[in-house]
Structure formats: structure tokens, C-alpha cells
Amino acid sequence: MEPFDAVIIGSGPSGASTAIKLAEAGWKIALVEKEILPRYKTCGGGLVYRGRNYLPFDISSAVERELHQVEIFFGKKSTLIFKAQREKPIVTMIMRDSFDSLLVNQAKKHSIVIYEGEKITGLENDENKDLAVVKTDKRTIAAKFVIAADGALSPTAKLAGWPETRQICPALEYEIKVSPTDFERLSKTVRFDMDVVPKGYGWCFPKKNHLSVGVGNFMKLTKTLNLKTYYQDYLQTLGISNVLEEQAHGFIIPISPRTDGFVKHRVFLIGDAAGFADPVTAEGISNAILSGNLVAKALVESQANLDKATLLYQQYLDEKILPELLTGIKLAKLFYNNQKLRNLMLQKLGQTATEAMTDVFMGVRSYPKDYKESIRRRLKLMVFSLKKNPDF
């Protein structure tokens, strides 16, 4: 069999969108998925507007709900509350089984070969033929390039020789059904509750007829958390006393990029496999799709030249993703590790910060590179205000 131009491991948003981009450029593509589709995928299922905008086709058939308002609560007693609204949906709610199936069906329209229910078991680099050889539990596939889009655990990255250098954080999500009264009350907005978990937050995402409720810790801790206990407490915070049905799913989120590059031999990392989730919010779908678009662009523009593709991919990451992630890591430390300072600033600047974060979700701005100077300037203004008004 003639080798593929590229084999993509993982059929989620990053893998499927990359496959489509390359197929549109005339590349011969194979897509390998370990599960039989459709399959449940643990994920909050909140697709922010900028991520939706990266997709070149309509996803309305997979949309559970569109939310135009975000609420952010700070403190265990929710003493600080901020809201933001937009005309376009800030967050589109999806279930990953339907959403990923939609993406794969789009891939099938481009004559992409899809191998479902196959786990990758081996990976070799054939230097003599300038090919990578991927082994699954059912077949052997040769390709000029391998793209690892297989998520936080990424067996492909491990087989290619990457050590673990990402920061990994735990999260716990429940798909729950509640009373009609509770559902109606919580179905109008995207809700985040900061600090209901140490150095983390809880979220409540309304879907078509149920809620996705979760808790996660997004900074390193010296002790292991019992997230189930924090989830039960969070239900009380939400005012939910009776859960009619629930399904629990634990997962991990890489919230910092790998420190030793994103290409080895003929293997390119994208999405969670590369560690591209937002360090502040842990939202990962947007950069998963964007990094897939970037790697496709690099491969096509290189005309399948490995060295050139490697340089181009790094260049595009340096322009589009990495600066925001590196700033986000520093902002996350300030945000989660310095609650008193953060809350003091939020008393004056909370709505401004909420609007700015919403703009990040919408894709109209990124994190400020000069955030330290901005914070110093804000603090000076606050100190001046306190001196003029000591009763503040």
C-alpha cells in the first residue's frame, strides 16, 4: 500500500480538524481513533467562541445550548460576583460524542481513511525511506508524518520519546440531571466559582436537558485533593439539594506546554498532547483546533520537507500560541496563589477583568504581555485611592 502523507492519531477536535485541513490541500490522510465512534469523551463541553470560529464548517447540529452570558463568583461565600454579556455566544455547549462524530463525518467527506477501534502500539522511524511507521493492534501504517492529537495521556508522545514536562492538573466532572426548577434556574448562563477548590474553581455548564458540573485544581499542591468532597460542597453552593441522575468522570488537564519541543523525528504534537490548554481557565479546545490548523499550514507550506515544516510549525506557535500560554502561566500563579491581592484588585477592577477575560474567550484579545507593569500601575492607583478614602 502506498504510504499516507500523514497519519493522525486521535479524532477529537484537533485531530479531525487537522485531517480536514490537510485533505483539502490534497494530502492523503489516515485518521486513527482508539474508540468506536460515537463515544463518550470526558470534557466540560464548553466551546468558547474563538474555538468555534477556528472551524471552517457549521456545527449547529451538535450544539446543545448557546450561552451569551458568563457569571464569575469569587470566594467561598461568593462575595464578589461579575457578569459579562455578548451578542454572539460566548460559550457553545456541546457533548463530545456528538461533536466529535460531526467532525469525523466532515472528515469522511474529504476521503480521509478512518481506522476506528484501533490502539497505537508502536512507532518507528524509517530513515532509509523517510517514513514513520505506526503500528496499531490491527495493522501497520506508513506515512511521511505522524501528528499526535491523542490528548493529555498521548501514547504517541510516549512512544516517540517525549518525557513528561507539562504541568498536569486533576479535574472531576459530573453529568447530572436535576429538578426542573433547578435546571431552569441554572440554564441561562455559564457559571464559574473561583476558590471552591484550593487553587482552582468549579463550573456549571447547562446542556440541552442536564448540567455538566465539575471541579478542578489548576496549580500544584503539596497534598492530594479529594475532588469528590469538593464537588459535593459545590452542589450546595449551586443550591442543588437533589440530584436525580449523575455520571462521574475524572480526567487530567495539561496546563503548560512541553519544555522540550513539539517535533521529534517525524512526529508533531498538537492540542493537549503538546500542553496547549489555557493555564488560567484550563480551556483546551480552542488551542487544540488552532494548533491543528498551524501544523497543517506548516506541513503544506513546507511541501512535505521535514526540516522546513519543523521550523515553520515552531514559528507559527511562537506567533500564535506560546506567548499567550507563557503569559497565562504567570497570570495563573498570581490569580490562584495570591487570593488576597487578587480580591483586593477585583473590588476595584473586577468588571474590567471579567470583560477582558470574556474578550479572550471571544478571540478579540489575548493576555497582555506587559501584565506586570499594568498591575503595578493599577496597584498605585488603588493605594492612592485608599489614602484619599481610608474607609474604603
In a domain, 70, yes or no: no
Considering only residues 44 and 296, tell me which one the structure prediction assigns the higher pLDDT.
Answer: 296
pTM: 0.92
Compute the residue count for the chain. 392
- Residue 383 has a pLDDT of 46
Number of structural domains in the chain: 3
Spatial strand order in the sheet of 91-94: 46-48, 91-94, 63-67
**DSSP code string of 70-109:** EEEEETTTT-EEEEEE-SS-SEEEE-HHHHHHHHHHHHHT
In a domain, 81, yes or no: no
In a domain, 332, yes or no: no
Answer with the one of 302, 324, 346 that is the final residue of a domain.
324
Answer with the one of 254, 270, 288 that is the final residue of a domain.
254
Query: Residue 146 belongs to what domain range?
Result: 4-64+93-166+257-324
- Residue 268 has a pLDDT of 98
In a domain, 73, yes or no: no
Domain containing 192 — which CATH number? 3.30.9.10
Are 139 and 275 contained in the same domain?
yes
Q: How many CB atoms are located within 10 Å of the residue 146 CB? A: 29
In a domain, 98, yes or no: yes
- Residue 76 has a pLDDT of 66
In a domain, 309, yes or no: yes
* pLDDT digit string, tens, across residues 75-103: 766 679 999 999 999 999 999 889 988 98
User: In the predicted model, what is the mean pLDDT of the chain?
Assistant: 91
* pLDDT digit string, tens, across residues 212-265: 999 999 998 777 889 999 999 999 999 999 999 999 999 999 999 999 999 999
Domain containing 297 — which CATH number? 3.50.50.60
Are 57 and 152 contained in the same domain?
yes
- Residue 231 has a pLDDT of 97
Are 138 and 22 contained in the same domain?
yes
